[in-house]
Amino acid sequence: MAKSIDGNTSIGDVLHQWTILEYEKHERGTLWHILMLSTGIALVVYGLLSDNFLFALIIILFSIIMFLQANQEPQQISFGITELGVIVGNRFYAYSEFESFHIIYQPPSVKTLFFETRSVFRPTLRVPLLDVNPVDIRFTLSEYISEDLTKEEEPLSDTAVRNWKIH
């Protein structure tokens, strides 16, 4: 389980460090807004006509969240790789919490480092590489945790989110 970093937390020497955004902010045009609004209204109407009020409520809540997120800027988060684990913001993850890592590097659209966690409840940790050299990161991380070489493609969910400009 991730620990909050305080004065007593032992993290080791920082080997790599860069700043990432909390989430990727997309530029959305008028056409995107018209399509999403039409789709949202159609789904709400379908939910109401089929007496599926929970579905309609979920679509409305999703729309509200998308609207609120579109009107705020993502936070800058410090990310670091240390001798003992990984730092994300003010949280420290020991290497023992990770099963493996893999890098998907298909510039210019995909430059991402993924950490597979051992926890069933915590999803994969996804970190944009930005302009960091992926070979250096791979070399450093392979000293501490195993690399999953079978994963060569970006997860479908990440591709869909990027292409549909949802997140």
As a whole number, the mean pLDDT across the chain is 90
Out of 70, 102, 128, a domain closes at 70
Is pLDDT at 106 greater than 70 in this prediction? yes
Is pLDDT at 92 greater than 70 in this prediction? yes
pLDDT at 42: 97
Work out the percent of the chain whose per-residue pLDDT is above 90.
Answer: 61
pLDDT at 1: 64
List, for residues 116-162, the tens digit of each pLDDT value: 999 888 888 999 999 999 999 999 999 999 999 999 898 888 888 88
Q: How confident is the model at residue 23 (pLDDT cuts 50, 70, 90)?
A: confident
Residues 14 and 37 in one domain: no
Residues 107 and 138 in one domain: yes
List, for residues 62-76, the tens digit of each pLDDT value: 999 988 888 888 899
56 is in which domain, residue-wise? 30-70
In whole angstroms, give the CA distance from residue 125 to residue 86. 10
Residues 15 and 96 in one domain: yes
What is the CATH number for 148? 2.30.29
Residues 51 and 87 in one domain: no
Residues 19 and 91 in one domain: yes
- Do residues 45 and 109 lie in contact, with contact meaning Cβ atoms separated by under 8 Å? no
How far apart, in Å, are the Cα atoms of 8 and each of 3, 4, 5, 11, 152?
A: 11, 10, 8, 9, 39
Residues 103 and 64 in one domain: no
Residues 38 and 87 in one domain: no
Domain count, the chain: 2
- Do residues 93 and 86 lie in contact, with contact meaning Cβ atoms separated by under 8 Å? yes
Residues 60 and 119 in one domain: no
Residues 141 and 105 in one domain: yes
* 142 half-sphere exposure, CB direction, 13 A CA radius: 11
Residues 92 and 140 in one domain: yes
Residues 109 and 143 in one domain: yes
Residues 46 and 82 in one domain: no
